[in-house]
Structure 1
Amino acid sequence: METTIQTADARILVLGIGNILWADEGFGVRAVEEFHRRYALPDGVTLLDGGTQGLYLVQFVREADRLLVFDAIDYGLEPGTVKIVRDDEVPKFTGAKKMSLHQTGFQEVLSAADLLGSYPRHLALVGCQPLDLEDWGGPLTPPVRAALEPALKAALSILAEWGIVASPRPEGDEGPGLLSHDIDSVNFERRAGE
């Protein structure tokens, strides 16, 4: 029987993974960036742009009691569809179809954390069905960009289940940027359109 994690003691990681240089493959990074822009999180919750770091993420995953991941996942659904997968099902989807190097790497991250004896007790994957993964340097496609809103709502709901309330940032206070100004979504997409 699993013991319940006390929210005050739980270490929670909200992680976005993907490659912003390949259009919709950047969904996870753009989702965590947008989440950070809109919401402040309490102590004990870490927000991280994992990009394509692969096995370098093992230590972060090992330190988390609960892990919420944003990622582009080929579920075989309509582009822009957001699907939530939880706990034991998560590794199956992070390696179901290799769309990029980071996915296999993330499945390996979960396996390595498990082998090292520090695996998150709860996992949630907020995945979005991509449309285009081959537009090098391109922004998110319209259906995947539109999926950011339902993905953020899903993440808020999952965090609430875990006893975490994300506070909306005041109007005009977007906090410090999660990504450097050259690769944040606004500047990146402006340059992609030039």
Structure 2
Amino acid sequence: MSTESSVLILGIGNVLWADEGFGVRAVERLHRQYAFPDNVTVMDGGTQGIFLLPHVQNSSVLIILDAVDYGLPPGTLKLVEDDNVPAFMGAKKVSLHQAGFQEVLITAKMLGWTPQRILLVGLQPEMIEDYGGSLRPLVVSRIDDAIAAVLAELQRLNVPVHRRVIAADELGPSALERDLYEEGRPSELTACRTGDERFLSDWNA
């Protein structure tokens, strides 16, 4: 890979919707643990959709981390490469952000973006419909495997990576930092996130 190549490592998803936050939580850990050269950007893309277009256009190599419904067992990590990536981003949408990002990829190519490489590191979620919930333990257990896949790709591209001696500051808003978010999250009994039986029972009557 040319030393002029720009690498974007992008985590997308919504940390407020349980396993939907996988991609963001994965790049957060990647950023805390590893340091990269100036031509590598690690970004929390959240659910920004089309607003990510200029960042994508400025990259030569795009590595995406996201929760993807592959129709596989929960916790399955699957890598998708290059021209196959847009189809997977929109085939079985976990949420609206994936439709938005599929449009980003298509629009970027229509505008002349010709990347050297696109890699999707996707994880089959276990639970999405839990507003305010967190990643399920199974999904958390695969974050290091996803990071290993990213590091292997960077090694293949001859991008130097260094383990940090001291963890870096948070990548995203401090209020959404995972440990802080977990400590402040009310229990399911206090804040019903999946539906209140007192009201849902009326629909079953």
If the length of structure 1 is used for normalisation, what is the TM-score? 0.93
Find the residue that maps to 2:133 and give its secondary structure: coil
Contact 1:61/1:119 (CA < 8 Å) preserved in 2?
Answer: no
Q: One-letter code of the match for 2:178? A: S
Q: Which of 63, 80, 98 is the matching residue for 1:68? A: 63
Do residues 174 (structure 1) and 167 (structure 2) align?
Answer: yes
Q: One-letter code of the match for 1:186? A: D
Aligned pair count reads 187
Which of these two proteins has the greater Rg computed from alpha carbons? 2
Aligned pairs for 1:1-194 within 5 A? 5-6=1-2, 8-170=3-165, 173-192=166-185
1:75, 1:157 → 2: CA distance? 22
1:193, 1:155 → 2: CA distance? 33
1:162, 1:191 → 2: CA distance? 40
What is the CA distance between 1:191 and its match in structure 2?
A: 1.6
After TM superposition, which residue ranges in structure 1, 4 or more long, deviate above 3 angstroms? none
Please report the RMSD computed on the Cα atoms of aligned residues, expressed in angstroms: 1.0
Find the residue that maps to 1:124 and give its secondary structure: strand
If the length of structure 2 is used for normalisation, what is the TM-score? 0.88
1:140, 1:165 → 2: CA distance? 30
1:167, 1:78 → 2: CA distance? 33
Unaligned runs of 5+ in 1: none
Percent of matched pairs sharing the same residue: 48
